[in-house]
Amino acid sequence: MLHDLFTPSVQHALDLVGIFVFAISGALLAVRRNFDVFGMAVLAEITALGGGLLRDLVIGAVPPAAFTDLGYFSMPLVATALVFFLHPQVERIQNAVNVFDAAGLGLFCVTGTTKAYAYGLGLTSSVVLGLATAVGGGVLRDVLANEVPSLLRWDRDLYAVPALVGASIVALCIRFDALNALTSTLAVVTAFVLRLLAMRFHWRAPRAWNRRSAAEEGPEA
Amino acid sequence: MLHDLFTPSVQHALDLVGIFVFAISGALLAVRRNFDVFGMAVLAEITALGGGLLRDLVIGAVPPAAFTDLGYFSMPLVATALVFFLHPQVERIQNAVNVFDAAGLGLFCVTGTTKAYAYGLGLTSSVVLGLATAVGGGVLRDVLANEVPSLLRWDRDLYAVPALVGASIVALCIRFDALNALTSTLAVVTAFVLRLLAMRFHWRAPRAWNRRSAAEEGPEA
Amino acid sequence: MLHDLFTPSVQHALDLVGIFVFAISGALLAVRRNFDVFGMAVLAEITALGGGLLRDLVIGAVPPAAFTDLGYFSMPLVATALVFFLHPQVERIQNAVNVFDAAGLGLFCVTGTTKAYAYGLGLTSSVVLGLATAVGGGVLRDVLANEVPSLLRWDRDLYAVPALVGASIVALCIRFDALNALTSTLAVVTAFVLRLLAMRFHWRAPRAWNRRSAAEEGPEA
């Protein structure tokens, strides 16, 4: 079946790693926002599982995977416990966390695109859902924490673009009937490396031209 | 079929216009919030397609139309490009944009109500979903931009009421077996004109009576 | 059928009471945030029905109950009218409202868990959805009002824990084949009393250990 790119156990292990590192980023934000331990768990769960949940609702895969696999549900609780007890140490290895987060981003954009296509969506829609799988959890995390989603802010290093590239590679491979474990891995690695480069060199996307007028209030702002 | 009020091509063209103008409002808000070009595209897509997406999830029409029609998906990208390159010019014609937005509002409240009814919901629920189709994208836009939804603010001209009136006219027509291209157009135009009048004369809805106590903190605010 | 714990009419009456008090809390927040009467109605509806709506989307029960039962839809409008005309009086009986809200919390965590299990989810997932049913509406309310969800804040009395305990009791009863009207009532009452005690004695959950570093900005905050 198309969805099983890797052997099921490898796929599952990779999913759990991605979920875990996304959950760490949710729990860390919860600490920064001064939430209690339950707030940390909620934010960790939603950051880790929110993107896949959105995808599954859209493609009609109910109940979503997040609710049928106890492992998916448990990893964010482990991440919460870790951050709860070892918060300063986890903060200190923020760079390592960012590397894992980039790996999760690469992985989820590929599995998200593949799953959406397996459920009958077109290639473009599958790419959009792959992107949504990868970045949706982080957007929900920021919305719940009452912050402007870091995905949308111009002063953050590129995050959506690496995922978009990874998802597009998958779509191209499907289009030319070349999707297999090797090309999937290539797509994951491409997104992963692009994100690492974006962080290393602070790649950013441009803002609208001639924004000066934005500072003035429009007549019906 | 009930859902095809107009000929399919007319319906589709009107949908695309509505999506386009809603997307413009999303892209403009993204510029005001200083988002980068990808943030603009995300906000444009969600503003334009979010209301219909919510409706389709609720009525079980998965995958939602937003993911099966490439035209729906492309219009917000066109709107993003336009705002990206011509932001001051688009701001300057804000009044024209508002008129188109009112047209989108009128159109979506009618098609939303009709589609919900076609999927077997009751008349009242269909009206609610028609309203949600028309205003849901704007609410998601404001939530993502970390602003109080302008739909909820008392200091904005009436927005939900025109859509509610349009949706209710459709429900009444269905109830009395009089829904056709003519009455549908009438409902669209009514909502459209009401919104224009609300903007022209700054119609606003009342707030709760005796709000003074709201300024004081309750015991368990 | 498992879902009918109580006689249908008793169940329905209890649901309406829970919806009503949740709607009151939404309408009161709308007044504090200075929304107009339509904003009040929107916030009341979403607070009261949002949790069940999320649950129904996840378990695939579409259209959700909120859209098939006119009573569910009407109660928030009654609550809105009440708060609109009698806002100071309702504020003054905030303590009574809190008691009813605790009752709604207890009720919804039990019915949410039971309904999720009836739709085929596992016990753990059912508990999570029971919790989501009970607290989801309040989270959506706070997100729409552009506030940090009170569920997540450490300086609020325990809210999720009583619901989690109630949902877990239901899951244990299902596991040991002991779910009936009596044990369900017991679960409702336990969650209700725990929430009352949490408010009375200001029970709070701990925050992460050694948070001091949270005050300093991380290298890539």
- The string of pLDDT tens digits covering residues C38-68 is 999 999 999 999 999 999 999 999 899 899 8
Residue A205, min C-alpha distance to chain B (Å): 6
Among the partner residues A57, A205, A210, nearest to B57 by beta-carbon distance? A57
Contact call for residues A26 and A48 (beta carbons, < 8 A): yes
Residues in chain A within 8 Å Cβ distance of C151: 38-39, 42
Q: Is residue C211 part of a domain?
A: no
The residue that leads in pLDDT, A5 or B216, is A5
Instruction: Output the six-digit token pair for A6.
Output: 């890797």
With a cut of 90, say whether residue A114 has pLDDT above it: yes
Length of chain B: 221
How far are the Cα atoms of A135, A195, A198, B38 from residue A159, in angstroms, in the given order? 8, 6, 8, 10
Q: What is the mean pLDDT of chain A?
A: 88
Question: Mean pLDDT over residues B167-188, rounded?
Answer: 94
Question: Mean pLDDT over residues B75-104, rounded?
Answer: 87
C216 vs C221: CA distance, rounded Å = 9
In the prediction, which pLDDT does C149 show?
93
Residues in chain C within 8 Å Cβ distance of B219: 94-95
Q: How do residues A175-220 score in pLDDT, each as one tens digit?
A: 999 999 899 999 999 999 999 999 999 998 888 887 654 444 443 3
In the prediction, which pLDDT does A216 show?
43
Contact call for residues C104 and C18 (beta carbons, < 8 A): yes
Residue B214, min C-alpha distance to chain C (Å): 5
Instruction: Give the residue numbers spanning the domain of B127.
Output: 8-202
Residue A35, min C-alpha distance to chain C (Å): 5
In the prediction, which pLDDT does B1 show?
41
In the prediction, which pLDDT does C94 show?
78
Q: Is residue B217 part of a domain?
A: no
B188 vs B163: CA distance, rounded Å = 9
Question: Mean pLDDT over residues A115-127, rounded?
Answer: 94
In the prediction, which pLDDT does A213 show?
47
Among the partner residues B147, B151, B218, nearest to C146 by beta-carbon distance? B147
Residue A179, min C-alpha distance to chain C (Å): 30
In the prediction, which pLDDT does C11 show?
78
Residue B208 CA from chain centroid, whole number: 25
Q: Is residue A107 part of a domain?
A: yes
* C145/B143 touch (CB, cutoff 8 Å), yes or no: no
Contact call for residues A166 and A193 (beta carbons, < 8 A): no
Question: Mean pLDDT over residues C165-172, rounded?
Answer: 96
Among the partner residues A60, A143, A219, nearest to B62 by beta-carbon distance? A60
Q: Is residue B194 part of a domain?
A: yes
Q: Which of B28, B87, B98 should one mutate to test binding to chain A, selecting the residue with the greatest count of A CBs within 10 A?
A: B87
| Number of B–C residue contacts, CB under 8 Å | 110
**Lowest-confidence region among A1-5, A78-82, B23-27, B145-149:** A1-5
pLDDT band at residue B91 under the 50/70/90 scheme: confident
Which amino acid would we find at residue C50?
G
Candidates B27, B23, B169, B171; CA nearest to B104 is B23
Q: b or e along A135-159 (b: 16 or more beta carbons within 10 Å of the residue's beta carbon)?
A: bbbbbbbbbbbeebbbbbbbebbbb
C65 vs C73: CA distance, rounded Å = 10
Q: Is residue C220 part of a domain?
A: no
3-state secondary structure chain B: CCCCCCCHHHHHHHHHHHHHHHHHHHHHHHHHCCECHHHHHHHHHHHHHHHHHHHHHHHCCCCCHHHCCHHHHHHHHHHHHHHHHHHHHHHHCHHHHHHHHHHHHHHHHHHHHHHHHHCCCCHHHHHHHHHHHHHHHHHHHHHHCCCCCCCCECCCCCCHHHHHHHHHHHHHHHHCCCCCHHHHHHHHHHHHHHHHHHHHHCCCCCCCCCCHHHHCCCCCC
Candidates B175, B37, B187; CA nearest to B108 is B187
Chains that touch B (3 or more CB pairs under 8 A): A, C
* A153/B62 touch (CB, cutoff 8 Å), yes or no: no
Residues in chain C within 8 Å Cβ distance of A33: 148, 152
In the prediction, which pLDDT does A219 show?
39
Residue C168 CA from chain centroid, whole number: 15
* A59/B57 touch (CB, cutoff 8 Å), yes or no: no
Instruction: Output the six-digit token pair for C100.
Output: 């009813």
* B39/A125 touch (CB, cutoff 8 Å), yes or no: no
Contact call for residues C190 and C169 (beta carbons, < 8 A): yes
CA-nearest residue of chain B to A142? B144
With a cut of 50, say whether residue C221 has pLDDT above it: no
Question: What ipTM does this complex have?
Answer: 0.88
Residues in chain A within 8 Å Cβ distance of C119: 63
Q: How do residues C87-131 score in pLDDT, each as one tens digit?
A: 888 878 778 788 888 988 999 999 999 999 999 999 999 999 999
Instruction: Output the six-digit token pair for C64.
Output: 């959700």
B91 vs B25: CA distance, rounded Å = 10
Residue C79, min C-alpha distance to chain B (Å): 12
* C146/A143 touch (CB, cutoff 8 Å), yes or no: no
Residues in chain B within 8 Å Cβ distance of A115: none
* A60/B63 touch (CB, cutoff 8 Å), yes or no: yes
Instruction: Output the six-digit token pair for C190.
Output: 């336990």
Among the partner residues B73, B88, B146, nearest to A148 by beta-carbon distance? B146
Give me the number of domains chain B comprises.
1
* C143/A145 touch (CB, cutoff 8 Å), yes or no: no
Residue B175, min C-alpha distance to chain A (Å): 31
Q: Is residue B208 part of a domain?
A: no
Residues in chain B within 8 Å Cβ distance of A119: 63
pTM, full prediction: 0.90
Among the partner residues C148, C160, C209, nearest to A84 by beta-carbon distance? C209
- DSSP annotation of A145: T
**Lowest-confidence region among A73-77, B15-19, C186-190:** B15-19
Rg (CA), chain B: 18
How far are the Cα atoms of A105, A131, A183, C39 from residue A163, in angstroms, in the given order? 6, 6, 15, 37
| Number of A–C residue contacts, CB under 8 Å | 109
In the prediction, which pLDDT does B195 show?
95
Contact call for residues B53 and B64 (beta carbons, < 8 A): yes
- Helices A123-144 and B70-92, axial angle in degrees (round to 10): 60
Q: Is residue A2 part of a domain?
A: no
Q: Which of A57, A67, A89, A157 should one mutate to test binding to chain C, selecting the residue with the greatest count of C CBs within 10 A?
A: A67
Per the DSSP assignment, residues forming a β-bridge with C153 are A35
Q: Is residue C182 part of a domain?
A: yes
Task: Tokens 């609610």: give the residue.
Answer: B128
pLDDT band at residue B95 under the 50/70/90 scheme: confident
Judge residue C116's burial from the number of C-beta atoms within 10 Å of its C-beta, 0-12 exposed, 13-18 middle, 19 or more buried: buried
Rounded to 10 degrees, what is the CA torsion of A78, A81, A82, A87? 150
A10 vs A188: CA distance, rounded Å = 14
CA-nearest residue of chain C to A148? C146
* A37/C125 touch (CB, cutoff 8 Å), yes or no: no
B24 vs B207: CA distance, rounded Å = 30
- DSSP annotation of A218: P
B153 vs C198: CA distance, rounded Å = 33
